[in-house]
Amino acid sequence: MRYLIVSDIHANWHALEAVLRQASGQYERILCCGDLVGYGADPNRVVDWARENVDVIVRGNHDKGCVGLDDLEWFNTAARQSAHWTQAVLTDANLAYLTQLPQGPVVVEDFRLVHGSPLDEDEYLIGDADVAGVAGYLDAPVYFFGHTHFQRAYRLSGGSLRRLEFEGPCALESGFAYLINPGSVSQPRDHDPRAAYAYYDSTARVVTPARAAYDIEKAQARILNAGLPPLLAHRLARGT
Ligand code: ZN
């Protein structure tokens, strides 16, 4: 099966549209590691699309925050303002969809989807030490995760951990466990503002990272016109 894997779309329709255009014809099913909404100005368009097109999804912390499933006190001010705005504009059907999204890990074939980490949906796996910390708890050979907005892949075996180069197709070897983040569609934080995503061919066991350029100015204008905090627009161009 050939999968398109997206994560952290954050209501950025223009970025998502560019990914779908670029990926067209190259996958059979769509997987999402969470955070459909929050930050961006097109939550209904993105959730409408997800309801129709995403085959398997886990919830993200912003999905929870925007529907009242989590208190927002640990969100920063801009994230909190955007969560309140999102909750107010979401249609009833989209609120209902976000409210019932499953907590990870969710099983797909022999691999798993999570938002944060295999142990805690809200935990950030940012540094090597974070990834090493969950190594002893994996019960599948491959986990796809999101949350950090960094497009990265790690290979683990016993006590050893290696961060892979992850710039082109990457063949997964048996006997290892892998933790793979497709990156964020809307808001990458590696100083490359293009939308990040990945493909996974589960038959060939090859994962391929990808980037798609999109019309950032249009996404920024949507955020500013909605009255959302300007920094949420500005950061899109910086890739931070
Ligand atoms: Zn996110």
Structure pTM? 0.97
**Cis preceding linkage at 182, omega within 30:** no
Q: Which range of residues forms the domain containing residue 192?
A: 2-238
**Cα 42 to middle of ligand 1, angstroms:** 15
**Cα 184 to middle of ligand 1, angstroms:** 7
DSSP classification of residue 101: P
pLDDT reported for residue 98: 98
**Cα 151 to middle of ligand 1, angstroms:** 12
Give CA–CA dist 216/193, Å, rounded. Answer: 8
The pLDDT tens digits along the chain (240 residues) read 999 999 999 999 999 999 999 999 999 999 999 999 999 999 999 999 999 999 999 999 999 999 989 888 888 999 999 999 999 999 999 999 999 999 999 999 999 999 999 999 999 999 999 999 999 899 999 999 999 999 999 999 877 899 999 999 999 999 999 999 999 999 999 999 999 999 999 999 999 999 999 999 999 999 999 999 999 999 999 998
Long-range contacts, stretch 102-109, CB < 8 angstroms, 24+ apart = 102/57, 102/58, 102/59, 103/58, 103/59, 104/33, 104/34, 104/58, 104/59, 105/58, 105/140, 105/143, 106/56, 106/57, 106/58, 107/140, 108/3, 108/31, 108/56, 109/1, 109/202
Strands 111-113 and 206-212: unpaired
Give CA–CA dist 143/111, Å, rounded. Answer: 6
Handedness of CA 153, 131, 61, 144 (dihedral sign): positive
**Cα 175 to middle of ligand 1, angstroms:** 31
**Cα 161 to middle of ligand 1, angstroms:** 24
pLDDT reported for residue 132: 92
- The CATH number that applies at residue 18 is 3.60.21.10
**Cα 174 to middle of ligand 1, angstroms:** 30
**Cα 162 to middle of ligand 1, angstroms:** 24
- Which DSSP helix (H) or strand (E) runs through 170? strand 170-171
**Domains in the chain, number:** 1
**Cα 155 to middle of ligand 1, angstroms:** 23
pLDDT reported for residue 74: 81
Provide the CB-side half-sphere exposure for 65 (13 A, CA): 26
Give CA–CA dist 30/6, Å, rounded. Answer: 8
pLDDT reported for residue 129: 92
Give CA–CA dist 81/58, Å, rounded. Answer: 23
**Cα 237 to middle of ligand 1, angstroms:** 16
What are the backbone angles phi and psi of residue 83, rounded to the nearest 5°? -65, -45
**Cα 205 to middle of ligand 1, angstroms:** 26
**Cα 188 to middle of ligand 1, angstroms:** 9
